[in-house]
Amino acid sequence: MKVLHIAETIRGGIATHLNALIPGLQTHAGEDNIRCLVPDAHAADLDAVPASAIRTFRRPSRLGGLAPLVVASVREIRDWKPDVVHLHSSFAGALIRPIAALTRARVVYTPHCWSMARETDPLKIRAYGTIERLLSLLTDRIVAGSTDEAVVGERAGIASSRIALIFNGLPATPPAFAPGERTDTRLKLLFIGRLDRQKGVDILLKAIRPLQDRVSLEIAGDAVVADSSVSFEGLTNVTRLGWISPAEVSRRLSVCDAAVLPSRWEGLCYVPMEAMRVSKPVLAARVGGLKDLVLDGQTGFFFEPESPEALQTLLEGLAPGDALAAMGEAGHRYFMDTFTAEKMTGATWALYRDLVGGAVQLPRNQPRKEG
């Protein structure tokens, strides 16, 4: 079986996803039978994928890369003749599904957070939902990375029979990293991600501003699009690290007390998995796929979304010590039970086999219930 993965952009979570997924799929199909088509400027992000499996297209800008994406996709589908075309995120999903549907290939789509889940305007939600519902008719299966993502798709009118719930996953062992050092006695938090509206870093900064003598924060990431609501002025308890390597992410997590995710919306985000993998608890807004990733009061805590006050109140009740460490250990067990790359790749391979005629039942790994 030959499978072609296509993405218009992979920077961030999609690269993490493909780095976890592709090597496992290659153990099932063989290295030569799994390929990725990605922007040339992003190819280096696929550091776990053999170079022989990567095809690229020019992407001088987001809009400027759309025509090259279509041309390269048509060429690759025509010449390589994959059995499955697996599309990632909204632009590739919208542009390439109509093309792939005209071929003999089975079409799979992973939204990596629905476009309608990112909006609050009812008209936009309805419009995006209509587009996704129509495009679903050209799709053999849509992979929802979280329970919430499956629910949002069904709410938009997509048939539940077209949606497969397969949780994202990471390799069970983190990248090798040098031991970190801890000198600060304050509650030490780590934020990982883009500095934009979705990730809610403005909410986090407002929450910790009154707590500078009690809380220290490291920020791994940077702005992709300028956001005027993000202000670091007067914050002496914040250290900006910029973008750092996966190994450095694991090292920084290993010496913090908790990872914090104040997101306004999310799919099944990888940051909580990275934290749980090194036995750290997660503090997260109760939104989207994060609801699958945190067992409230067991592996971390939820707080109300878009509420700096709620996050501040939560932080005021926390301190470094055994209670948070025990939550981190519980989180590691939850990660190993539910969110490993081995589970994700096994379920994805079973899905492909099912679509192309193999008699393999699709696994639906479910989250552990709270309590």
Q: What percent of the chain has pLDDT over 70?
A: 94
pLDDT of 180 reads: 84
The DSSP 8-state label assigned to residue 307 in this structure reads -
Q: Which fold has domain 187-338?
A: Rossmann fold (3.40.50)
pLDDT digits (tens, 9 = 90+) for 311-331: 999 999 999 999 999 999 999
This prediction's pTM: 0.87
pLDDT of 223 reads: 76
- Indicate whether 187 pLDDT > 50: yes
Distance separating alpha carbons of residues 330 and 228, to the nearest angstrom: 38
At residue 368 the predicted structure's pLDDT band, cuts being 50, 70 and 90, is very low
CATH number attached to the domain at 3-171+340-355: 3.40.50.2000
pLDDT of 358 reads: 53
Class of residue 321 by CB neighbours under 10 A (exposed 0-12, middle 13-18, buried 19+): exposed
Mean pLDDT within 72-98: 97
Mean pLDDT of the chain: 92
Sheet holding 258-261, edge to edge: 238-242, 215-220, 187-192, 258-261, 282-285, 300-303
Q: What percent of the chain has pLDDT over 90?
A: 81
At residue 230 the predicted structure's pLDDT band, cuts being 50, 70 and 90, is confident
Name the amino acid, one letter, at 263.
S
Segments of the chain assigned to CATH 3.40.50.2000: 3-171+340-355, 187-338
Mean pLDDT within 21-46: 96
Mean pLDDT within 108-123: 87
Distance separating alpha carbons of residues 271 and 204, to the nearest angstrom: 16
Residue 118, φ and ψ in degrees, nearest 5: -95, 0
Q: Which of 124, 307, 354, 114 is nearest to 200 (CA)?
A: 307
